[in-house]
Structure 1
């Protein structure tokens, strides 16, 4: 059976090369703005509050030891000690922050530590990252998962130790932690996105059908039949859970597959068109251009040119070295 979440995570090509240890003493508060980069928190000790800004409001989470939070496309957020609310976007933040090796010390440097966390941003290697991230929840909060707790403990051990290759090991552990967090959410309620859709058995059937047969001539009515719902009930339920209308989601998924096939360069244009549900190259070209902003042929040439430049810029390694 096709696993839609696994397919999206695989296409995203996640990595976590940037991390730092943050040690905090109450009272403290920090606000920061991001530029759409994925951001994560691993709470190693203690607790804190996290407010994630979103259009029309915000979500506030209370975090405790062992929690993991991933914000796939962070814009702005704030954290604070448990004794206060995270600062609003227009609120002045005066908590002292002092750099330290491998991270930062927040609050009174001589105060008792009430939170120790590993924070940083991830990278999504896929050129379709923005499109694929739109299929994920606005935020992911995982608690009480034994496998994740083990990974968090390993990450914490590496962050606190001074072992050789600590940065490399920490980065690899964080990659596994991020993938495991997304994988563990299939049965939980989260913000709108693919995970919430998969948590609904009826919607999950429609989602799996779209992923198993992206070339099928789907309509809202046909997808509703897959979900054993009326057309109107399916449309409303899908849109509320996933955050996209059914045909918008299908188009986004088809274009992600098309871009992957174009990058691989192994199929003719008509074969790619047929694999994503279009009976002609012209119909596929119109849909692709509208969604991506450039015709598929031009997209393929640009990708091929970029790959060739990378190859030419990379010197050949000597077969043996001293």
Structure 2
């Protein structure tokens, strides 16, 4: 059986090249608004507050991990009420390499490992749209084990520290996403996979994207009526079934075109088109340029 989640993560090509340890004391607040930059935060010690648009404010405690795949307006702050006057413009760099928020003197009340992920896929915006808007993980044993390794590595000055930390954070990123299941997740792929009926149709689309799927055939995979399936899929994924299928086919097509290993006819067949010409029309309509030009430009960019 195919694994839609694994396929999406593989196409995203996540990496975590940037991280730093921040500590806080007293009253402080940091406001962030950088669309397109996936933000993560692991609470190493203490607790703080997270307020993100569209979500209830969260109290983050030691061992918690938060991931915002596409950063929107959000703030982190001390548990003490912090107002505009406490906004941190530039944190203080301490002698131990930490970035201090709030009072630069005295012991830290909270210690965080924060940073940004990078998605190397040129189609990252589409793939990120399939993920929850905010991932908050607490009490997961596997994630806690990885987080403990991250905590130990972040505090050490051992050889290859940054390389090991980057790899651990990549695993942490994937594990955090994988642990976000159930209908409480925001609409997206993970919520769809948590629904047994919808998951059957999703696996079908991912396993054989070349099949000439219809809504009726997908509804059969889900053992639902056509109308019930359409409504349930849209509620779980946030998009209509055929809209999702088109987006997935185009993401695969872009990946095939970037590799440069397949003829246009074979790319077309692998993503469900009977001819190179029909695929070219669909790709041009979706991506805004012909597939041959896309492949050429991607090849030039890799040189």
* Deviation readout 1:13-43 (Å, 9 max, x if unpaired): 1110100101012432211121311111111
Residue number among 229, 235, 239 corresponding to 1:240 in the alignment:
235
Say which SS state the counterpart of residue 57 (structure 2) adopts. Answer: strand
- TM-fit CA distance, 1:116: 0.9
- Equivalent in the alignment of 1:98: 92
- TM-fit CA distance, 1:81: 2.2
Question: Does 1:181 find its partner at 2:208?
Answer: no
Gaps of at least 5 residues in structure 2 are none
Q: Is the 8 A contact 1:189 1:199 kept in 2?
A: no
Say which SS state the counterpart of residue 27 (structure 1) adopts. Answer: coil
- TM-fit CA distance, 1:136: 1.2
Say which SS state the counterpart of residue 179 (structure 2) adopts. Answer: helix
Question: Does 1:73 find its partner at 2:70?
Answer: yes
- Equivalent in the alignment of 2:203: 208
- Equivalent in the alignment of 2:11: 11
Q: Is the 8 A contact 1:27 1:83 kept in 2?
A: yes
Q: How many residues align?
A: 301
Q: CA RMSD in A?
A: 1.9
Residue number among 218, 227, 237 corresponding to 1:223 in the alignment:
218
* Deviation readout 1:227-280 (Å, 9 max, x if unpaired): 122222222221121122111111111011111111122221111111111112
TM-score with structure 1 setting the length: 0.87
Q: Distance in 1 between matches of 2:201 and 2:42?
A: 34
Gaps of at least 5 residues in structure 1 are 310-322
- The equivalences for 1:54-133 within 5 A come to 57-84=54-81, 93-95=86-88, 97-100=91-94, 102-133=97-128
In the TM superposition, structure 1's runs of 4+ consecutive aligned residues that sit over 4 Å from their partners are: none
Q: Distance in 2 between matches of 1:276 and 1:158?
A: 43
- TM-fit CA distance, 1:78: 0.4
Say which SS state the counterpart of residue 105 (structure 1) adopts. Answer: strand
Q: Is the 8 A contact 1:43 1:65 kept in 2?
A: yes
Q: Distance in 2 between matches of 1:238 and 1:49?
A: 34
- Equivalent in the alignment of 1:160: 155
Q: Distance in 1 between matches of 2:146 and 2:159?
A: 19
